[in-house]
Every structure is written in structure tokens, then in C-alpha cells.
Amino acid sequence: MAVDNDGIAVVTLQRPPVNSLNLDLLQAMNNTFDDVAKNKSKGMILTSASPTVFSAGLDIMEMYKPDPKRLETFWVTLQDMWLKLFGASFPTAAAINGHAPAGGCLIATSCEYRVMLSGKFTIGLNETALGIVPPTWIQDSLRHTIPTRQAEIALTTGKMFTVDEALKWRTNRGAEGAARLGPPVLEGPQMPPRSPDQILNKTLKMCLSPKMALDTGIIKLNALNEYLVTERTTIVDNAITFGIKKCNDMDINIQKRGRRKVGLIDETAADKAEAIEKCKKFIKRFDKIPSLARGMTKQIFRQEVLQKLLTNRQADTKQFLDLVNQPKIQQSLELYLAMLKQKSQK
Ligand SMILES: CCCCCC/C=C\CC(=O)SCCNC(=O)CCNC(=O)[C@H](O)C(C)(C)COP(=O)(O)OP(=O)(O)OC[C@H]1O[C@@H](n2cnc3c(N)ncnc32)[C@H](O)[C@@H]1OP(=O)(O)O
């Protein structure tokens, strides 16, 4: 952990090669989260020392042919880690500088803000694809981050999102779009400034008139272009809102049409330093908010999900132990480990 001059703690996961979460790493994370809380840090950013992997999720070796006592401690320590991170009163952000499957995605979704490096990385809860069932609180972390329907589809299909798919939906391409429309397209006299409505009404009237002089037509076209440039964002936003409503009315899946993104991450960054900077910017947004009010509001907001695990902790642990000890699950884990080994030897 490194605390910067602003009092923001940057916690770097460092368990080569892929930051898989074994008992030792989870215990170290818990101790670190306690320290961040004790030191009254302004906030915490989680990132990874690996250049390509944020975290590969749970260490499968902890679950394959496990020692019963250690397996139980492992699970309870994972629950503790999640309770501390998801329920932290201080602001939390993840600078996701690589792949974040399963438990890696859990850590990221437990934070309040996510910045992921652009590139060929993926993030998601892929458990069902491995034949394992993510427990309620792990599902809840995703449901807390993205819309319920998208979370259900992602969970049941074991979806791994590309960075672009994971990004949140943005409609405002203001400057870029305006630049594409550009300056007036036709050479010639320009019109004195008027309000967009005045311009549009006049243009419509003129276009309906059968005798329009060329010069007047040019003025009007320039005026229309000016209107489109200045009001583009509003026009595009209104068109998208209208389009979404129509698609919903007609039961058309907007995501398939490529416009709607899911919001699993908040921003992208070109490199780790930029990702950390963007996370810091998020944390600094709370500079003027009294920390007690902020922290309590967050905890109330997350209380229902946290309480579910707190009340069912023993049952959740038993369910995990029963599941892992099933011969079928052991077989799946063995096959998966062999597949990973084979892949890494290529
Ligand atoms: C049973 C009930 C459980 C319920 C609880 C459910 C909650 C969470 C479940 C999990 O988190 S399970 C873990 C799921 N994780 C994954 O599916 C990711 C698997 N790994 C990968 O896809 C890749 O490793 C990577 C993260 C994309 C990185 O790829 P890269 O090419 O950089 O590295 P590799 O060559 O694949 O791996 C290097 C080395 O690490 C070993 N390894 C990778 N992931 C894990 C892991 N999760 N646990 C243990 N070991 C892992 C991999 O086998 C290689 O080992 P060596 O061959 O070098 O010995």
C-alpha cells in the first residue's frame, strides 16, 4: 500500500503470475483494508502489479482436492474480504489494468468506481461457464453495478465483457460530432445570429416556398447547418431517447444493436498511471462532502445486500463446502486446471 500526498491509498495486488486469490492474499487484503480504515485515508484505489491481469479470481488450487479446514477458512476469509470492501465507508475505486475474471470482477464490482485499461482485456463473472454457481452475494455485487436484466443474462451465460462492451453508455459526442458537421458548407453570405427555433422555422418556410433565390437558399442552408452544429447534442440525445423508447415498445434488444453499453466499468484509460489518476479524480469528488454523511449514506445504500450475507453466513459457507466437495465439481476443476496449464505451456 502507498499513500499519496492527498491521503489516497493505492493498494497493489502482487501475487504473480496472475494475482489468483488464495488464503494468504485474501488475509493480506483484509489486513490492508483494516489499515486504510484505521489511517483515515481519503479513499482507496485497488490495482495490480501485473501488466496484463488485475486478478484471475479465486485460486482454483484452494478448491481442488482441498484440506477441509483450510477450505472453510478460505471461504470465510473471502466473505470477510467482500464485507470489508463492499461495505467500506471510505471511497473505493479499481484501476483495472488487465483481465478481471470471476473473483477479479468481484473485487472490481465491490468498489464504487472502475477505470479499465483499453485493450484486449476482459471482465465478468464467468462461473456458470465453468460449471460453478456464484453465491447470492457475488451475484448481488454485479446486480448492484449493472441493470438487473443485463446482470441475469451475464451471470447465466458466464459472459466475459470486452472493455468496450463493459463501458457505460454515453450519448454525448458533442465536440467530436460538431467537428464532423463542421463550419458552414457553402461559400456565400451568412445570416445574422438568431435563436435556433427562429432559424429552423424560417428555413422551413423558405424551403416550402416554390420561388427561392439561390443566394437565399445558401443563407438558409448555412443557417440550418449552424442550428445542427449548435444544437447537435440535444438533437442526438432526443433522437436516442425516442429510439430507445421505440425499441423497448417493440421489445428489441438495444444492446445487440451496438448502441447500448452495460456500465460495468465507468471509464477507460490508456495506461495504469492514467487509470489511477482517473480513480483519484473520482475520490476527490468527495473532498467537500462530510465523510461521515458520505460513508453512512453508502452503507445504507449497500446495507440490504451486506445484511443478506451477514444473516446467512453459515448457510453460505456450508453451501460452498458442499458444492466444492461434489465429485462433479472436483472433476470440472481438474479439467479447468488442465486446460489452463495446457494454455500456459503453448
Ligand atoms: C466451487 C464453487 C465456487 C463458488 C465461488 C465462485 C466464485 C468465484 C470463482 C472463481 O473466481 S474461480 C476462478 C475463475 N478464474 C478464471 O476462470 C480465470 C482463469 N485464468 C485465466 O483465464 C488466465 O489465466 C488469465 C487470467 C486470462 C491470464 O492469462 P495469462 O495468459 O496471462 O496467464 P496463464 O498462462 O493463463 O496463467 C498463468 C498461470 O496461472 C495459473 N492460473 C491462472 N488462473 C488461475 C486461477 N484462477 N487459479 C489458479 N491458477 C491459475 C495458470 O494455470 C498458469 O499456471 P502455470 O501453468 O504457469 O503453472
- Please write the tens of the pLDDT for every residue from 46-79: 999 999 999 999 999 999 999 999 999 999 999 9
Instruction: Note whether ipTM > 0.90 here.
Output: yes
* 34 C-alpha to ligand 1 centroid (Å): 27
pLDDT digits (tens, 9 = 90+) for 294-317: 999 999 999 999 999 999 999 999
Whether ligand 1 lies within 6 angstroms of the CB of 127 is answered as yes
Name the least confident of 27-31, 129-133, 187-191, 286-290: 187-191
Domain spans, the chain: 2-171+260-345, 196-256
pLDDT digits (tens, 9 = 90+) for 201-244: 777 777 677 777 777 777 777 777 777 777 776 777 677 777 77
Of the candidates 140, 170, 167, 168, which has an alpha carbon nearest to the alpha carbon of residue 155? 140
* Protein residue whose Cα sits closest to atom 4 of ligand 1: 134
Name the least confident of 153-162, 190-199, 322-331: 190-199
180 compared with 209, residue with greater pLDDT: 209
Task: Please tell me the pTM assigned to this model.
Answer: 0.79
pLDDT digits (tens, 9 = 90+) for 112-137: 999 999 999 999 999 999 888 999 99
Measure Cα distances from 265 to 31, 69, 94, 110, 159 in Å.
26, 36, 9, 12, 15
Q: Select from 106, 329, 344, 346 the residue to mutate for testing ligand 1; criterion: most ligand atoms less than 8 Å from CB.
A: 344
* 28 C-alpha to ligand 1 centroid (Å): 20
Whether ligand 1 lies within 6 angstroms of the CB of 343 is answered as yes
Q: Is there a contact between 103 and 57 (Cβ–Cβ < 8 Å)? A: yes
Asked if residue 192 has pLDDT above 70, the reply is no
Average pLDDT over residues 90-104: 98
Asked if residue 25 has pLDDT above 60, the reply is yes
CATH number of 2-171+260-345: 3.90.226.10
Q: Is there a contact between 33 and 81 (Cβ–Cβ < 8 Å)? A: yes
Measured CA to CA, the distance from residue 235 to residue 219 in angstroms comes to: 22
Query: Using only C-alpha atoms, what is the Rg of the chain?
Result: 26
Q: Report residue 108 as a C-alpha cell.
A: 472490481
Q: Select from 340, 342, 346 the residue to mutate for testing ligand 1; criterion: most ligand atoms less than 8 Å from CB.
A: 340
Whether ligand 1 lies within 6 angstroms of the CB of 53 is answered as yes
**pLDDT class of 335 with cuts at 50, 70, 90:** very high
